[in-house]
Amino acid sequence: MTTIIGVRKGDEVVIAGDGQVSVGQTVMKGTATKVRRLTVGGSDVICGFAGSTADAFTLLERLEKKLEATPGQLARASVELAKDWRTDKYLQKLEAMLIVTDGKDLFVITGAGDVLEPEHDVTAIGSGGNFALAAGRALMDHDLSAEEIARRSMAIAADICVYTNGNLTVETIKHD
């Protein structure tokens, strides 16, 4: 279980994720990295994932291939990944969700075939996702950067959700 948050404010987008890996009620690892930066064709994309790690890596590899086929077009690559995820018999069994950004677009990609853009420039997934989302939305009106909002939201989620910890990986990307 985990929590991932994506925050867009001003010219920056941040994805942050905690480091807890749990199996049942046991914490197996507290320092996992669930946020990654991909560089494809000279363009950076940040991805955060919740769910099965092996499944998430499979999806990240697929996303990378889609980005190679459609350089600089995160929306198109995300839709193509979601279509494959929904229709491919092997991919349908994967249990994970992704938050992705190129600094301009911010999407949640699900196995149900959804590519969702957040309505209020904050999105979150995982076991503590609703806590982080509520905190992030409440903090958006304050004079805080995207990173400060993400960090504070994740701290609140970690205080509430037993499957979320405070060991964060934070990646920032700016857009023009």
C-alpha distances (whole Å) from 119 to each of 16, 42, 93, 111, 122 are 19, 29, 28, 20, 7
Q: 158: annotated binding-site residue?
A: yes
Q: Which positions are catalytic?
A: 2
Per-residue pLDDT tens over the stretch 19-75: 998 888 899 999 999 999 998 888 899 999 988 787 888 888 889 999 999 988 999
Nearest in space to 129 (alpha carbons), one of 16, 53, 47, 8: 16
Least confident interval from 80-89, 128-137, 147-156 = 80-89
Dist CA 118 CA 105 (whole Å):
10
Q: 47: annotated binding-site residue?
A: no
| Amino acid 42: pLDDT | 82
> Which of the given ranges, 75-79, 86-90, 94-98, 135-139, has the highest pLDDT on average?
135-139
Nearest in space to 159 (alpha carbons), one of 128, 136, 134: 128
* pLDDT of 93 over the 80 cut: no
| Amino acid 59: pLDDT | 84
* pLDDT of 88 over the 90 cut: no
Q: 138: annotated binding-site residue?
A: no
Domain 3-174 is found in CATH 3.60.20.10: yes
Dist CA 88 CA 82 (whole Å):
10
